[in-house]
Amino acid sequence: MTVTHEDELQEQFDATIARHDRIEPRDWMPEGYRKTLVRQIAQHAHSEIIGMQPEGNWITRAPSLRRKAILLAKVQDEAGHGLYLYSATETLGASRRELTDMLISGKQKYSSIFNYPTLSYADVGTIGWLVDGAAICNQVPLCRTSYGPYGRAMIRICKEESFHQRQGFELLMTMMRGTDEQRAMVQESVDRFWWPALMMFGPPDADSPNTAQSMAWGIKRDTNDELRQKFVDMSVPQAEVLGVTLPDPELRWNDERGHYDFGQPDWEEFAQVVRGAGPCNTQRIAHRKRAHDDGAWVREAATAFAAREI
Ligand code: BYC
Q: What is the dihedral of CA 190, 160, 54, 112, to 10 degrees?
A: -70
Three-class secondary structure of residue 177 per DSSP = coil
Distances (CA, A) of 48 to 42, 78, 139, 272: 10, 5, 13, 21
Spacing, Cα 89 to ligand 1 middle (Å): 16
pLDDT of residue 4: 86
Residue whose CA is closest, atom 40 of ligand 1? 202
Q: Which residue among 210, 213, 269 is best mutated to probe the pocket of ligand 1, counting the most ligand atoms within 8 A of its Cβ?
A: 210
pLDDT of 194 above 80: yes
Three-class secondary structure of residue 254 per DSSP = strand
Q: Which residues pair with 147 in a beta bridge?
A: 23
- For the beta carbon of residue 25, count every other beta carbon within 10 angstroms: 13
Q: Which residues pair with 253 in a beta bridge?
A: 260
> CB of 211 within 8 A of CB of 223?
yes
pLDDT of residue 310: 75
pLDDT of residue 1: 65
Spacing, Cα 177 to ligand 1 middle (Å): 35
Q: Which atom of ligand 1 lies nearest, measured to the CA of 51?
A: 23
Residues with CB under 6 A from ligand 1: 39-40, 43-44, 47-48, 51, 78, 109, 111-112, 131-132, 135, 138, 199-203, 208-211, 214, 220, 224, 274
Average pLDDT, the chain: 97
What percent of the chain lies above the pLDDT cut of 90?
Answer: 97
pLDDT of residue 309: 84
